[in-house]
Amino acid sequence: MLEVLDGGWLTTIQDLGRPGYERYGIPVSGAMDFFALRVANGLVGNPPGAAGLEITLVGPVLAATAPCLVAVTGADLTFRVDGREMPMWMSVFVRRGSVISFGGRRRGCRAYLAVAGGIEVPPVLGSRSTYLPGRFGGWEGRALRAGDRLPIGPVSGHLPERAGRRFPPHRLPAYSDCPTVRAVPGPQDDHFPPEGLETFFGAEYRVSPTSDRMGYRLEGPPVARRRAEIISDGVPPGAVQVPPDGQPIVMMADHQTTGGYPKIATVITADRPLLAQCVPGESRIRFAAVDIAEAQRRYRETMEMLERSWE
Amino acid sequence: MTFPRILPVGDAALVVEFGDEIHPDIHRRVLALDHALAADPFPGLRETVPTYRSLLVYYDPRQLSWDEARRLVANALARSTDTPMPEPREVEIPVVYGGEFGPDIGFVAAHTGLSEEEVVRLHTSVTYTVYMLGFAPGFVYLGGLPEALATPRLPTPRPSVPAGSVGIAGLQTGIYGLSTPGGWRLIGRTPLTMLDLNRQPPTLLQPGDRVRFVRIG
């Protein structure tokens, strides 16, 4: 059991989401940085889709009521056990009664904490991911706060022996405060004049302070559009909608399933972790156009590398 | 533009557009393709999202390239025109109109020049079609609103609309599945549970269902 002594700024239980329900208006949700959650799970010997904690900007304080094996990945929020800083991207043994905490934020936006056995809250529609706007999934559909006691699934083997496993740093995505994010133009790129596409793929955008798990609102040169609205249709994660003011919005994990703004491009799956680590109000991003074959190649490479890492 | 057209949506999805207007015939073709894919899914097909005039199709890019996915969907499209569709379900939705459950019914009456009684009579007089569920969990978009009832959205959305609320926005009527912020003009509320996360499927209504509202209370 992990007992929450302080919830931090926004800490939620997330797994890889609940696909299969978008036709009912239910978003996929899940870890914003799927790469970091998968690695954290791999380091502690969990299946890739086990539920862990998504920790935003300011970390929680957690007490281990039993010995456990944890790994922290993603943003560097100064991970500590009993006040001592511990390495990230590595499995760490935590004794009964020890306290996990975080210091200042150094880099990135979202850290992931996986614990061997996974966090065993009841699944909702096949997933333990928290969907805050709908107040379901995770821990009572909300962010963690002091007093919550998170049950951990069963583990086998001798935990201290499994500590010290590392993920090679050269395999990490190109996390940055000003990443270039690759995107495939479309599906509604014909709703934009050539200068609209030039602006979008040429300019630098700031991630606005109002950005959240639903969407990243970008601030920068307005993208010219040909037509105002489209008839609402399906919106996948990573889709970039352009509302009338020309300021793009990137759909993130908790995005609404349908929308009526034309979509100029779709961020490639492999680069969504880069977006997840952008800090609202601070990070700046650029978009680079790639074709679908390149996007699919990157996705396959990423997934194959993640799988190979645990052989 | 010629329809239908198949467009890529990033590396793991494509969309089939059947037109660019809201029309029952266009929507029927969306559902026909959705049905054809569900009846005979190809390996690597992940999920489909039917909407007014398009079908979003998710596929696994580790199993299928864009060209392969496009070809498989094009085959299903060809097949869909002669796959028989199941008869649409007919569902009655009981609604308490006006009062605290339909706080905007007075505005709708004033805007349309009808009495509140006539608003209810007209709203319960026709059979609607579920065009899609979307934006928020379990929200139901219905086509077929009598034109005399068309009323614009609220200028500023309410921070919270109770689940089961029945609203009007322009030429559409809809039902909130979950308590969410919302800008539709609320004329009533149904006591039915529109969204139940412990149910499979989780929503009471599905795209293509035929709906009649019945006044209660």
> Model confidence over A21-66: pLDDT tens digits?
999 999 999 999 999 999 999 999 999 999 999 999 999 999 999 9
Residue B128 in any domain: the answer is yes
B101: phi > 0 → left, psi -120 to 50 → alpha, else beta; which? alpha
| pLDDT band per the 50, 70, 90 thresholds, residue A300 | very high
Burial of B214 (0-12, 13-18, 19+ CB in 10 A): exposed
Closest-CA distance of chain A to residue B115, Å: 31
Tens-digit pLDDT profile for residues A74-96? 999 999 999 999 999 999 999 99
Which CATH number covers residue B113?
A: 2.40.100.10
User: Could you tell me the pLDDT band of residue A204, with boundaries at 50, 70 and 90?
Assistant: very high
Q: Residues A156, A193: one domain?
A: no
Instruction: Report the residue of B3, B11, B54 to disrupt the A interface, i.e. the one with the largest count of A CBs within 10 Å.
Output: B11
Same domain assignment for residues A164 and A188: no
Kindly report the average pLDDT of chain A as a whole number.
96
- Do A225 and A142 fall within a single domain? no
CATH code, B37: 3.30.1360.40
Q: Which of A127, A142, A170 is the last residue of a domain?
A: A170
Q: Mark yes or no for CB contact A257/B134 under 8 Å.
A: yes
CB contact under 8 A, A236 and B10: yes
Query: Which of B26, B61, B80 is the endpoint of a domain?
Result: B80
Is A299's CB within 8 Å of B12's CB?
A: yes
Q: Spell out the residues 6+ positions from residue A192 whose beta carbon is closer than 8 angstroms to its own.
A: A200, A223, A224, A225, A226, A242, A262, A264
If asked whether residues A158 and A200 sit together in one domain, one would say no
Of B8, B20, B56, the CB nearest to A234: B56
Number of domains in chain B: 2
Domain end call among A170, A201, A216:
A170
Residue B125's CB is within 10 A of a number of other CB atoms, namely 12
B34 is a domain residue: yes
Looking at A120, A148, A170, the residue that finishes a domain is A170
Say if the Cβ atoms of B135 and A298 lie within 8 Å.
no
Selection from A258, A235, A257, A23 nearest residue B49 by Cα: A23
Q: Which of B47, B80, B113 is the last residue of a domain?
A: B80
- Any bridge partners for residue A111, and if so which? A55, A74
Q: Which residues contact A298 (CB under 8 A, 6 or more apart)?
A: A182, A268, A269, A270, A271, A290, B11
Q: Are residues B113 and B68 in the same domain?
A: no
Strand partners, A206: A219, A284
Annotate B142-173 with DSSP letters as a single string: EE---GGG-BPPPSS-EEEE-TTEEEEEBTEE
Closest CA to A291 of A265, A309, A263, A311: A265
- How far B47 CA sits from the closest chain A CA (Å)? 6
**Is residue A249 assigned to a domain?**
yes
One domain, residues A7 and A122: yes
Contacts A–B by Cβ distance under 8 A: 142
- Residue, of A309 and A294, whose pLDDT is higher: A294
User: Could you give the C-alpha distances from B191 to A33, B101, B116, B132, B194, in angstroms and in order?
Assistant: 39, 10, 21, 21, 9
For A99-152, what is each residue's pLDDT tens digit?
999 999 999 999 999 999 999 999 999 999 999 999 999 999 999 999 999 999
Last residue of a domain, one of B21, B49, B80: B80
Residues of A within 8 A of B20 (CB-CB) are 230-231
Range of the domain at B154: 90-216
Instruction: Clarify whether residues A166 and A184 are in a common domain.
Output: no
What is the pLDDT at residue B59?
Answer: 98
Chain A interface includes B9 (CB < 8 A): yes
In this predicted structure, what is the pLDDT of residue B86?
85
**Residue A311 pLDDT > 70:** no
Q: What's the CA gap between A18 and A44, in Å, rounded?
A: 23
B22: which chain A residues are within 8 Å (Cβ-Cβ)?
231
Residues B104 and B208 in one domain: yes
Same domain, A25 and A133: yes
Kindly state whether residues A9 and A153 are assigned to the same domain: yes
| Residue A292 in this model has a pLDDT that exceeds 90 | yes
A83 and A25 together in one domain? yes
What pLDDT sits at residue A258?
95
> At B6, which helix (H) or strand (E)?
strand B5-9
Confidence of residue A98 (pLDDT cuts 50, 70, 90): very high
Beta carbons of B180 and A23 less than 8 Å apart? no
Residue B100 within any structural domain of the chain? yes
Indicate whether B123 and B152 sit together in one domain.
yes
- Which of B:95-154 have CB within 8 Å of A? 132-139, 141
Q: Smallest Cβ distance to B135: which of A20, A25, A186?
A: A25
Per the structure, the complete domain to which residue A88 belongs is given by 2-170
Residue B88 DSSP code = P
Please state the domain count of chain A. 2
Residue A231 with chain B: CB contacts under 8 Å: 20-22, 51-53
CB < 8 Å to A17, chain B: none
Reduced to 3 states (helix: H, G, I; strand: E, B; else coil), residue B33 is: helix
Based on the domain organization, do A36 and A94 belong to the same domain? yes
Over 70: is that where the pLDDT of A68 sits? yes
Q: Which residues contact A297 (CB under 8 A, 6 or more apart)?
A: none
Residue A260: CATH number of its domain? 2.40.100.10
Residue A175 lies in a domain: no
- Let me know whether A276 and A199 are in one domain: yes
Which H/E stretch holds residue A304? helix A292-308
pLDDT < 50 stretches in chain B: none
Subunit contact A22:B47, Cβ cutoff 8 A: yes
